[in-house]
Every structure is written in structure tokens, then in C-alpha cells.
Structure 1
């Protein structure tokens, strides 16, 4: 016999007990503990890495730190409370703490979504419009600071007015806004944050993917035939010269500045110690294409005798990394939130099994746990910073172990 959640709402009950979830609650407790430990450790390491490693203190990495802070709020403070509710199948914090929990929950989720959008937007601006006025304004130190403050202010302003309707939701055994009393405002908010936010993240990464693919093909087409005269660079995994701090948007190839002098086209080479952003490479390719188009037929360079290789090892690795990053971020974001949103949209009358609501809600917990892995652990500099921090933390324990 399933629990009638509508009656529980009407009775303002803080219990989510039901025979159908008696066994499932232990999975929820285990899953919640895993998210708490892994999410807290990963996000705290991200913040410490940013604070202790000078190479990581860039404007774009500040966006990652903002995302990590939102995830720390959820994983460290809110997730243990949810674990307690699942363990006892009862909310033990009272009505006021339930309202505060609901507000902090949606504040954390909203800041997380806004940060994801800002990261995707910033990456697109670096790749496609680095020298535009909008990019220089938004990606300046003051611009990034305004974006960070605005993300928290916007989240608080959006979900703060729902304070009177934050109640205990038995179907997910946690505090949320009332599904009926908050309408239509809650419907609009969910659409703006989750559907439009999800759409913009996917759109920006898709545009990055297209830009990188076009730039890679253009570089192959207009690469000089005499490769032996060029020095090969090791592929940079980090962002030393890009100031991007995310691990995508840089390339190991040298940018080419093309100038016409008589019958020859000379290439200028950038320093091997300064990896250039993809936007620079793309601009160079566009210049090369324009220069070639404008040249008279008599002086246009002849096509190479043999086709160039499909791509160098560094370019191929860069292309694959950007592609993997774009689709991983998009698919993981969809995978975490889509089931929860769909079950709430389709089950307006609360007729679906309670365990289904709980499971879909538990999937959203994973979002705050995997964000550090997706945005930080794929970067070699962050990985090295993590190792350094863990080594320093483990050193006293190892010394004590050796003495004993």
C-alpha cells in the first residue's frame, strides 16, 4: 500500500515513511554519503588548488571556484541533512529549517547552473570572439567579479520570494517548494533555469565544437608544405598562456601571421613558450584564407604536391579533448536533471511510485559531485595541484607510520 502524498501535504506532515521505500532508503543513505564525501573532497581540493597554485589563479578559473563553492554548499551542508531524512524517513529539523533548507537548495542549484552557463559562454568568447568589445568587458577582472556576485544575487532574488511555500515534499523526502502554491512562478523559474540554462550550455559547447573543427580543417589546408623548418611544441594540457583555466581552448600549434611580400608569403612564428588560444589560430587561418583569395592568380601559391597529413598528434589530441569535454559536460548535465524534471512534469497528480521520485531526485545529487571531475580533473595543472595537496596532507601520516 503506497503512501498518499497529497494527504501528507494537506496534513503538513514531516514523514515520508512508506512500505515501498523502506528498503530503498538505505541505498539513498549510501548514495548520499558517497556524494557528501567525494563532492566535498573534490570541491575543497579545487578551491585549495586555486589558492595555492599561482598557475591556476586565472580569471576563468575563478568561475570554476564559484561553481565549486556552490557545490560545497550542497555537498557539505545540505547533503548530510538529506541523508538524515532518508535514514529516518522523517524530517527532524522543524518548519523554519525546512524553509531555510529549501532556499539554500535552490540557491545552490541556481548558482551552479549560472556558473555552468558562464563557463560555457566564456569558453566560446575565448574561442570565437576574444578581441570583441563584449568579450574584453565581460572577461576582464572587474567583469568576472561582477558576474560572480551577480550569480549569487540572481539566485537569491529568484528563489527568495518562495520562502512562504517551502515545505517538506514526502515524495522526495526533502524540503522543496510546494508544487501547487508556488505556481505559476515556480514553473517559470524551472523553465528559465533548467530548460534554458541546459539549452544554453549545450548551445555554447556545440558552437565551440564547430569552431574548433573549422579551425582544425583550415589549419590543415593552409599549413606550409615545409614542416621541417618549424619547431614542434609539446602539447600543453594546461592554460599557461591562455588564462582560461578550464583546459580547453588552447592548442599546441603555432599561430601563423601571414604577410604578402612580392611573390612569397612569409610566416611569423610565435614563441614556443606561449601556447595560443584557438581564437588566435582561427583568426590566423581566416587571415591566410583572405590573403590567398586576394592574391592575383599569377602570384597565388601553388598547391602542395602531396596532401598534408590529416592532423598532427598534438592537434588531434586537442581536438579530441575539446570534443570529449563538450559532449561530456552536456550529456552529464542532461543525465542528472532530465529524469527528475520529466517525472515531475508528467506526474502532476502524484500517481507515480514514490521510489521513482526518490531515485530521480537522487540522480540530481550526482551533479554536485562530478562537476570538479569534469571541469578540473581533466586539466593536467589541476591534477598536479591535487597530487601536491594530497601528498602534503598525507606526509605527516606517513612519517608517523614510519616511526611506529
Structure 2
């Protein structure tokens, strides 16, 4: 068991800074992800199928920031894992489960956004969304269970990782390294393939719709039988184009969710690169610690991106916070 029994042990300056930063991740991330969960549960407009994966992402990030992060801080303070080894293995599996689910959920969110944009018919969209949610959920469960069960059958190892300073995957030898490298590479390949394709199709559909609308408007203006000087009657019904209305809203939302993807790459690519380069155990511990912290930071930032970018979530947050802090009580 990796644990410093020396009573004179004291943290280095870098570890003190890391504990402080992790404390911020724990507090801010727990509050933010809890707000997402409460917002979805208490807001009917957010209880739609395409928000299922946003809820899953918030729950896994909440476990990371609210449970795994405090144990990480305990390891740094004590210089190792101070409890039974079985508990470290359990926390390690929880960390793997949440990180895997969080990473793969980003792909599911992108696919759901594509379905929302591609299918404008509400009935057809609902059917497709249901199929996508079922298929994506099945794939997600299969991958996550496989990632967790492989170490049970001897492929890979879970416990206290000295380089990372917490309970997670262990890669003290090349055999263990292959398991960790395989997990991160498969997850990253899926994300850099599925997400860009989904958003490229979204932008292509919206662009095609915009060009079609512009051509129709131009043809209407050039039509000699169409007298544009005539004003429509006051009681004439206003003709609206559902595709045009959808294009503005969905394109705006898709761009915002694309920023989530950019944040995902910023947080995950550095650590994956360091892990792949450490096949022979030559990469310094400091590189592992610095890039690993980005993974924890990702779980902290996601809910605030929703609050900043998506109006429905922002309104739900304001309503929840106002009830907590601004509600007057009369006795």
C-alpha cells in the first residue's frame, strides 16, 4: 500500500497548490453540477430526450467533483492512500467509470443535436431521438462495463497511482500501460470522429437551408407578377418558415455546444499525449500531475458553460437560486 507513515511528512509547495486548486474544483464543480441536476428535475421544458445525456454528464461530473476529488485531496495530504487497499480500488473504479462516461457522453450530445436539426417534423424527430437515446445508451453502457470489467479479468490494474497521486488506473509496467493507453485512445478517437462529423452535418444543413431561403426570396423579388410595393393586409396570416426559425436557434445552440467539444479536447488531449509517451515510464511525474488536473477541471467547468450559453438552463439556475437566497419568509 502506498502510504507515508512518517509523521514528519509534509506536502511540497506544488502539492499544496494542487490541494487548493482541487478544493476549488470540488466546491465549484459540486455546486454547478448539482444545479444542472436540480434544474432538469424541476424544469419541465428541460425534461426532453436530448437533455438525457446532459443530465448523465452532470451526474458523472458531480460524482467526480463531490466524491473522487475529496479522496484525491486526502491522498495528497497524507502522501498516499491512508485507508484499506480495497477502498482505493473501489474509488479507482468509480473514477474510471465517471471519466469514461463523461468522455463518451460528449459524443451522444453531439448526435442528439444533429437529430434535432436534421428532423424538423416533431413526430419524426421524437421517434428518431428515442432510437438514438436507446442505441447510444446501450453502446455507452457496453463500453463503460467493458472498461470496468477488463481489470477484473486481469487486463490492466486499478489502485493507487503514484504518478497521479490518487486511486485510478495503474501503469507501473507496460502491460498495465497498454490498458490505460487503449482506453484513452479509443475514447479520443471516437470523440474526434463522431463530434466533428455531427457538427459538420449540422452546419451543412443550416447553410443549405439558408441558401434555399435566400434563393426563394430573390426569386420572389424578381418575379414580375409579384408587386412588392403592395403591402400585405393587416389580417393576412404571417407566413413563417419553420426551417428558418429552427436554423437560427439550433445553429446558435450547436455553436455553443461545439465550444464544449473544444473544452473537452483542451482537457483530454494533453493527458492522453503524456500517457501515450510514457510507455517506458520516462515521463516526469510533474507532467502527469499537470495534465491530469485538466481532467478534473473539465468536470468543474461543464455546468457553467451551460449556464452561460443555454438560455433555458440559465433561467432555471436563476429560479433555483432565487428560491434559495431571495425568497422572503413571513412568520
The TM-score bracket by the shorter chain reads 0.7 to 0.9
TM-superposed deviation, 1:377: 3.7
Distance 1:123 1:376 in 2: 18
- 1:240-251 equivalences under 5 Å are none
- 1:3-402 equivalences under 5 Å are 13-14=2-3, 22-129=12-119, 137-140=127-130, 144=133, 147-148=136-137, 151-163=140-152, 165-179=157-171, 180-182=174-176, 184-223=178-217, 224-225=220-221, 229=232, 269-270=239-240, 276=242, 315=248, 319=251, 321-322=252-253, 324-395=255-326
Please give the secondary structure, in 2, of the residue aligned with 1:182: helix
Distance 2:41 2:254 in 1: 29
Distance 1:183 1:349 in 2: 9
Q: Which moved more, 1:205-214 or 1:336-345?
A: 205-214
TM-superposed deviation, 1:160: 2.3
Q: Is the 8 A contact 1:75 1:369 kept in 2?
A: yes
Q: Is the 8 A contact 1:67 1:112 kept in 2?
A: yes
Q: Is the 8 A contact 2:267 2:294 kept in 1?
A: yes
* Match in the other structure for 1:288: none
Deviations 1:254-296 (CA, angstroms, capped at 9, x unpaired) = xxxxxxxxxxxxx9835xxxx9466x867xxxxxxxxxxxxxx
Q: 1:375 to 1:210 in 2, by over 3 A?
A: farther
Number of equivalenced pairs? 311
In structure 1, runs of 5+ residues without a counterpart are: 1-11, 232-266, 283-314
Distance 2:187 2:243 in 1: 30
TM-superposed deviation, 1:167: 2.2
Q: Is the 8 A contact 1:102 1:166 kept in 2?
A: yes
- Which structure would you say has the larger Rg? 1
Q: TM-score, normalised by structure 1?
A: 0.67
Q: Is the 8 A contact 1:209 1:322 kept in 2?
A: no
Q: TM-score, normalised by structure 2?
A: 0.80
In structure 2, runs of 5+ residues without a counterpart are: 222-227
Distance 1:88 1:134 in 2: 56
